[in-house]
Structure 1
Amino acid sequence: MKPFDLSLYLVLDPDLCGGPQGMVDTARIAAENGATIVQLRAPNWKKRQWLETAFALKAVLDPLGVPLIINDHIDVAIAVDAAGVHIGQADLPPDATRRLIGPDKILGLSTSNAAQMADVPLGLVDYLGVGPVYPTGTKLDASPVIGLDEFGQLMRAKPLPVVAIGGIKHGTAAPLIRAGADGVAVVSAICGQADIAGATGHLFIEITGGRT
């Protein structure tokens, strides 16, 4: 498996970033200023646009040593040799996904409650996305919000490294790290910000501070 650091996990949004080139520019600036992993997510795109943007993202992220994760589209991840794939509860199951991507790719799985976490096949999945912790407007089909207290309860029994997801912004990251998250996933806290470098840097500092 390729090494990965969940600390500051950027999920790209095509609307907030201003289209494919905006996503690539955002990813590059964020990776230069503290983002440790980047996910391509564009639910309304056609497959060709996924492929072209994934290649462009790899071209800027690989020299910086930042892994590219593809949301759901396993064929795109294989085609561009992405670092891994992130799947949800309604996507292909982890066993089928692992067979397709092989043993060396990163596989992340979204979970939102204790029952889902208990069902995670530990030998197949590498990390969990847990949430949404807070209300989010960037994922319209998100599960119900769990809140910080329930998130902390889930962290006490986490079977794998966890990245907190859902509505996370500057000022809310450190409490999640202190509650047991290995990292936080953000969208609008970086995508669409006037100062992407500054927004990323402030989040990275907050996350680092949450570990002390």
Structure 2
Amino acid sequence: MKEFRLYAITGENFHPRRELTEVMEQAILGGADIIQFRDKHSGPEERLAKARALRELTRRYGVPLIINDHVQLALEVDADGIHLGQGDLSLTEARRIVGNKIIGISTHAIEEALAAQKQGADYIGAGPVYATQTKLDAVAPVGLDYIREVSRRIRIPFVAIGGIKLHNADEVIEAGATRLCAISEIVGSEDPAGACRAFIDKLEQKERG
């Protein structure tokens, strides 16, 4: 899959007065280089309309679009990939359905990360690093030690996720993360592009040593 550094996930509850595509376009302009559409509340028709709008937006900028959970929706809008949780469709079955599209898996323990790698995941999410209010069913925070372990033992790309803010991003990067995911800190910002640039600056500072 295409290399990435900043993974932005939709969260319309964090910007109730602004359009989804407007906010995500600002994120892309700020440096988000992969977008995930996650929508747990809309009905099928509304979800499809939003996914199509995001597909048009991400194609315009050459940014991959990942659909959370909904495999058939990903196929319908020709998204670049899907992201699955531990309780979702198995990776093997998902691969049979989506072929060579990107498949990402959420992991919360090194055993899950190793299994995802062995089964052919293209990347994993590692977290939640910190407590997060973004998901009502979020598992307990795994902390920085999990990021350190994943950075040592996992060969496929991983993205640190969960409660990551500008004020704590440096310690996540120091723990070994070279890719970050943020939701509320980006889409809930009055300046999503500026928030993304700030995350990118932190990653680039580490790269420069």
TM-score, with length taken from structure 2: 0.93
The residue that corresponds to 1:59 in the other structure is 56
When structure 1 is superposed on structure 2, of 159-168 and 171-180 the one drifting more is 171-180
The amino acid that maps onto 2:95 is R
**Alignment partner of 1:13 out of 3, 11, 14:** 11
1:54-97 deviation line (CA, Å, top 9, x unaligned): 11011111121111100000011000000100000000010101
1:113 aligns with 2:96: no
Match of 1:87 in 2: 84
TM-score for the superposition, normalised by structure 1: 0.92
**Distance in 1 separating the partners of 2:119 and 2:86:** 17
3-state SS of 2:141 partner: coil
1:28 aligns with 2:25: yes
The answer to whether the 8 A contact 1:133-1:164 is kept is yes
CA RMSD of aligned residues (A): 1.6
Q: Which residue of 2 aligns with 1:46?
A: 43
Does the Cα contact within 8 Å between 1:178 and 1:211 map onto a contact in 2? no
- The alignment-based identity, stated in percent, is 37
Q: Which residue of 2 aligns with 1:185?
A: 181
One-letter amino acid matched to 1:71:
N
Q: For 2:56 and 2:19, locate their aligned partners in 1 and report how far apart those are by CA, in whole Å.
A: 14
Q: Which of residues 136, 140, 151 in structure 2 aligns to 1:140?
A: 136
Within the candidate set 29, 34, 38, 1:37 is matched to 34
The runs of at least 4 consecutive aligned structure 1 residues that moved more than 4 Å come to none
- The 3 A distance-change label for structure 1 pair 6 and 59 is same
The answer as to whether partners of 1:34 and 1:201 remain within 8 angstroms in 2 is: yes
- Deviation sequence 1:146-173 (CA, Å, 0-9, x none): 1113321232111421000100011322
Work out whether residues 34 and 63 of structure 2, in 8 Å CA contact, stay in contact via their aligned partners in 1: yes
What per-residue deviation string (whole Å, max 9, x for no partner) do you get for residues 78-118 of structure 1? 00000100000000010101111112x11100000012122
Q: Which amino acid letter does the alignment assign opposite residue 174 of structure 2?
A: R
In structure 2, runs of 5+ residues without a counterpart are none
For residue 154 of structure 1, give the secondary structure of its aligned residue in structure 2.
helix
1:69 aligns with 2:56: no
Letter in 2 for 1:32: L
